[in-house]
Amino acid sequence: MTGRYFVDSKVWLYLFTEDDAGKRDGGDTFFRERTGADALCVSWQIVNEVWGNLLRKGKSDEVARGMVEHILRSCELVDFSLDLLLRAHDLRSRHAVSFWDSLVVAAALTADCDCLVSEDMQDGKRFDGLLVRNIFTRDGR
């Protein structure tokens, strides 16, 4: 996979926690293979989800902040806007996805990403040219 990637929150959480060593290693490989070569993107929604989940999993404020700062240094940040919200509403209507997932997809499309890296959405699904990939499956790599 080459191009621009929008990275969903669970991918980051596996990287930063001990929840699943195999998925942590898979995420680490994904990020190492793209360091400096491809654009990684996230939205404020993803940043907030990661930070909140890190705190819920017992990470200290200082540690969680450091992890979020790593994300912000590594990625292009997609701002929330009325246009993004309206795009999400359109996607939700046309593709029958949840409100929160439609915001993720809209942010990825707004950032001109080729691929949405997510464990939560159907691997191989397309949204207006955006491909969903689950990097934790054999076919997703």
Relative to beta strand 130-133, strand 126-127 is antiparallel
Q: For position 124, what pLDDT does the model report? A: 93
Q: For position 25, what pLDDT does the model report? A: 86
Q: For position 138, what pLDDT does the model report? A: 67
CA 119, 120, 123, 125 torsion: positive or negative?
A: negative
Domains of the chain: 5-133 (3.40.50.1010)
Q: Which two tokens stand for residue 115?
A: 């691929």
Q: For position 17, what pLDDT does the model report? A: 86
Site of tokens 């001990």: 18
Phi-psi region of 44 (alpha: psi -120 to 50; beta: other; left: phi over 0): alpha
- Could you list the pLDDT tens digit for every one of the 141 residues in the chain? 558 999 999 999 998 888 888 888 888 888 888 776 568 999 999 999 999 999 999 999 999 999 999 999 989 999 999 999 999 999 999 999 999 999 999 999 999 999 999 999 999 999 999 999 999 986 544
